[in-house]
Amino acid sequence: MATLLPEQCHRVALLHQEEAAAAFAAQDVLHPEELLRYQGFSLPKRRREFLAGRVCAKLALAELLPEQALAPRQLSIASDPSGRPLPPGEETGLPPGLHLSITHGGEFAGAIAANHPCGIDLQPLGDNLLRVRERYCLPQDDSLLAQTLSHLSERERLALLWTAKEAVKKALSHRRMHGFLELRLQTLRPLPDGCFLLGLAVAASGTPPEEAQTLAVATLVEDCALALSFATEE
């Protein structure tokens, strides 16, 4: 998946949540402000997700900026009102213009750090994909998926679509958070190594989609689908 838009400088981290919790102690990797949030969660599952997501984000940042010698506990990743993760401030010595996206799905957590707006999403192959398909899958989407990915199961096709749309939504959220049904699948083609390139265009209901597409690369990882996307800052 790292071949998506090679001109974009980015790094991705993906971890099993239980393994992350066993390998990283919260007090060693979380900034004091993050640690307060972590301790405020009453459910162990939510704590595990938060810790694994922050570990992934800091690993991705460290790989993106190896010359910075980043200490995880010194990096505070906050969230804006919509929940979009905000990279640490320039007071930490990091360059401006960094972007982060974090996701949890099934037993995994993932994050991407990049020099452009980005999005990452994980989605388990569950029955809910079938129950709520009308909330995110347009008839045009369904037709193109069935024609191009007939060798995959219905759940796999829908999971790839869900993650691609969610990753694109996150990548575009610096401008506006779009709804699932505002994003129309226009192009879909296989890539090497079991990946797929999906081109999504923004369109309000009943109007022609915009010509410009936002691309997402999606793949299947164990019992989940995983997708990455980038967008311009314009």
pLDDT of residue 162: 98
pLDDT of residue 66: 87
Alpha-carbon distance values, 97 to 49, 87, 100, 113, 188 (Å): 26, 9, 10, 11, 30
Mean pLDDT of the 159-168 span: 98
Q: 30: which DSSP letter?
A: S
Q: Could you name the CATH architecture of 121-230? A: Alpha-Beta Complex (3.90)
Q: In whole angstroms, give the CA distance from residue 164 to residue 120.
A: 8
pLDDT of residue 62: 92
CB 77 within 8 A of CB 100: yes
Please, where in the chain does CATH 3.90.470.20 lie? 10-115
Q: 92: which DSSP letter?
A: G
Bigger pLDDT: 6 or 233?
233
What are 112-147's pLDDT values in tens digits? 999 999 999 999 999 999 999 999 999 999 999 999
Q: Label residues 78-97 b or e (16+ Cβ within 10 Å = b).
A: eeeeeebbebbeeeeebeee
Q: In whole angstroms, give the CA distance from residue 57 to residue 53.
A: 6
Pairing verdict, β 195-202 and 85-86: unpaired
- How confident is the prediction for the chain on average, in pLDDT? 91
pLDDT of residue 210: 58
For domain 10-115, the CATH class is alpha beta
Counting residues of the chain whose pLDDT is more than 90, the rounded percentage is 74
pTM for the model: 0.91
Q: Is the pLDDT of residue 217 over 60?
A: yes
